[in-house]
């Protein structure tokens, strides 16, 4: 059962890179538990920068980030990182042990959990991601889709309150993409999905955020936003095929 606090809150968050690029510009948004939220925008819009703020990879220059009512600071960063699980686009950046089992166990062990609990979490994560029988293999011997699921399993084993996914369907073949969407749909966790796969956003998410040039330009019902041709085209996006006959 989730706590009553909001999952994530951003209050007037801004961030400018040293080269002068304004990556985030006064962004305020609240994500509630049990939502599935698509984070949309063209390349360079600020999506990756926003994601990096959620667990302290980047620190807001102005504004505040809260996770379940806990302000993200240097003093709270370890606590916050237990609540926010981020799965990056390239799974090879997250799989570095000699076996998938070792990759999945790495996070729980770093949390100082007893080995019995680590084993239980590994088993649950393996079952949730359909990786049974592959635990002893190194990541390099898995298909790309299996690597993606292994990276997700490694994060799920830490029992985050929010799972943040960066392009979870990228570079997957049609079968792998379908399996990924079915898998994500079955997860009982709050999702924030940054994606250019607008059909996946349509199928998976109930809410959408559109960010462009560092500013939050839309926030609302995912299907209404994805079907808004003027909005989507105006911010470097397209209307997904499934949305073209949609009527709110």
Q: Is residue 2 part of a domain?
A: no
CA distances from 118 to 48, 103, 104, 159 (A): 30, 12, 9, 11
**Tens digit of pLDDT for each residue in 141-194?**
899 989 999 999 999 999 998 999 999 999 999 998 998 999 899 888 899 999
Q: Is residue 185 part of a domain?
A: yes
Q: Is residue 21 part of a domain?
A: yes
Residue with tokens 């997860």: 187
Residue with tokens 């830490």: 158
**Residue 21 structural domain:** 8-243
Question: Which pTM value belongs to this model?
Answer: 0.91
Residue of 119, 77, 80 lying closest to 101 (CA atoms): 119
Q: Is residue 147 part of a domain?
A: yes
Query: In this structure, are residues 191 and 163 in contact, taking their beta carbons and an 8 Å threshold?
Result: yes
**Tens digit of pLDDT for each residue in 67-84?**
999 999 999 998 898 899
63 sits in the region (left: phi over 0; alpha: psi -120 to 50; else beta) called left
The whole-angstrom separation of Cα 96 and Cα 79 is: 24
Query: In this structure, are residues 104 and 126 in contact, taking their beta carbons and an 8 Å threshold?
Result: yes
Query: Binning pLDDT at 50, 70 and 90, where does residue 1 land?
Result: very low
Please give the pLDDT value at position 2. 52
Q: How many domains does the chain have?
A: 1
CA distances from 15 to 8, 63, 93, 214 (A): 18, 9, 25, 9
Averaged confidence pLDDT in the chain: 92
Q: Is residue 16 part of a domain?
A: yes
Q: Is residue 78 part of a domain?
A: yes
């Amino acid at each position: 059962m989730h706590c009553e606090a909001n999952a994530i809150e951003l209050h007037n968050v801004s961030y400018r890179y040293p080269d002068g690029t304004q990556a985030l510009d006064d962004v305020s948004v609240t994500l509630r538990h049990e939502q599935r939220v698509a984070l949309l925008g063209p390349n360079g819009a600020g999506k990756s920068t926003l994601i990096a703020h959620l667990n302290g990879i980047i620190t807001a220059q102005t504004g505040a980030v809260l996770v379940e009512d806990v302000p993200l600071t240097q003093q709270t960063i370890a606590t916050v990182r237990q609540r926010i699980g981020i799965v990056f686009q390239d799974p090879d950046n997250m799989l570095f042990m000699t076996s998938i089992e070792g990759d999945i166990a790495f996070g729980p062990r770093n949390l100082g959990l007893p080995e019995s609990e680590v084993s239980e979490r590994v088993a649950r994560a393996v079952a949730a991601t359909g990786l049974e029988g592959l635990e002893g293999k190194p990541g390099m011997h898995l298909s790309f889709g299996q690597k993606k699921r292994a990276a997700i399993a490694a994060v799920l084993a830490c029992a985050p309150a929010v799972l943040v996914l960066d392009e979870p369907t990228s570079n997957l073949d049609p079968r792998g993409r379908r399996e990924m969407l079915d898998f994500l749909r079955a997860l009982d966790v709050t999702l924030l999905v940054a994606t250019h796969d607008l059909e996946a956003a349509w199928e998976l998410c109930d809410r959408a955020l559109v960010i462009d040039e560092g500013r939050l330009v839309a926030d609302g019902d995912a299907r209404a936003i994805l079907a808004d041709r003027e909005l989507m085209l105006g911010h470097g996006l397209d209307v997904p095929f499934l949305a073209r006959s949609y009527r709110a």
